[in-house]
């Protein structure tokens, strides 16, 4: 059963929240706050939910609880931002309280690298592209990022190489 968000907090969540909220500005990286606010957009979660409901027809009503769409989105984004492999992502999120809070895992179990990889594969490139386009749109609207011109040098020089 696929849920959009984690509803019930664990005992570990209270401990982690208490630890992190003492000095939030010291622990969160500067890029995390605006990105965290941008990821609150419900359209992003709807894109994932629609993809899951197409893939697994009865996943909303049957089966054991799966990883929430919000956690999947945040894990995949963190992987992309940090340019980590799935193994590195699992290890870093498991060991870092700030990443646990950012990905909304809290004191819960971090999905293993094979599961995260499977989420990405099952969503497919079209859904990932939709998510990317939506994130870029949100970032532009909220002026989180600014577009820059890219200059590419495509000069071709012929030479004799022996």
pLDDT 10s digits, 110-121: 999 998 898 888
Angle, helices 113-141 vs 42-55, to 10°: value is 140
Judge whether 5 lies within some domain. Answer: no
Judge whether 109 lies within some domain. Answer: yes
Judge whether 146 lies within some domain. Answer: no
pLDDT 10s digits, 97-156: 889 889 999 888 899 999 889 888 888 888 888 888 888 888 788 877 666 776 777 777
Judge whether 151 lies within some domain. Answer: no
**Residue 24 belongs to what domain range?**
11-141
Using pLDDT thresholds of 50, 70 and 90, give the confidence band for residue 86.
Answer: very high
Q: How many structural domains compose the chain? A: 1
Judge whether 125 lies within some domain. Answer: yes
Residue 23, judged by CB atoms within 10 A of its CB (0-12, 13-18, 19+), counts as: exposed
How far apart are the C-alpha atoms of 62 and 58, rounded to whole Å? 6
Q: Identify whether the C-beta of residue 70 lies closer than 8 Å to the C-beta of residue 104.
A: yes
Q: Identify whether the C-beta of residue 6 lies closer than 8 Å to the C-beta of residue 108.
A: yes
Judge whether 96 lies within some domain. Answer: yes
DSSP state of 144: S
How much is the pTM?
Answer: 0.72
Least confident of 44-53, 57-66, 88-97: 57-66
Judge whether 121 lies within some domain. Answer: yes
Average pLDDT in the 14-23 region?
Answer: 61
Judge whether 114 lies within some domain. Answer: yes
């Amino acid at each position: 059963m696929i849920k959009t968000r984690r509803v019930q907090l664990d005992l570990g969540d209270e401990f982690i929240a208490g630890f992190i909220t003492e000095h939030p500005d010291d622990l969160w990286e500067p890029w995390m706050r605006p990105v965290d606010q941008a990821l609150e957009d419900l359209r992003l979660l709807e894109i994932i939910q629609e993809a899951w409901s197409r893939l697994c027809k009865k996943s909303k009503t049957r089966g054991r609880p799966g990883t929430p769409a919000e956690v999947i989105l945040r894990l995949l984004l963190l992987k992309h931002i940090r340019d980590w492999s799935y193994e590195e992502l699992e290890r870093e999120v498991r060991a870092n309280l700030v990443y646990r809070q950012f990905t909304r895992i809290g004191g819960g179990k971090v999905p293993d690298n094979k599961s995260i990889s499977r989420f990405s594969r099952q969503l497919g490139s079209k859904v990932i592209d939709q998510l990317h386009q939506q994130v870029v749109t949100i970032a532009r609207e909220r002026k989180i990022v600014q577009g820059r011109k890219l200059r590419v040098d495509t000069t071709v020089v012929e030479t004799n190489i022996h």
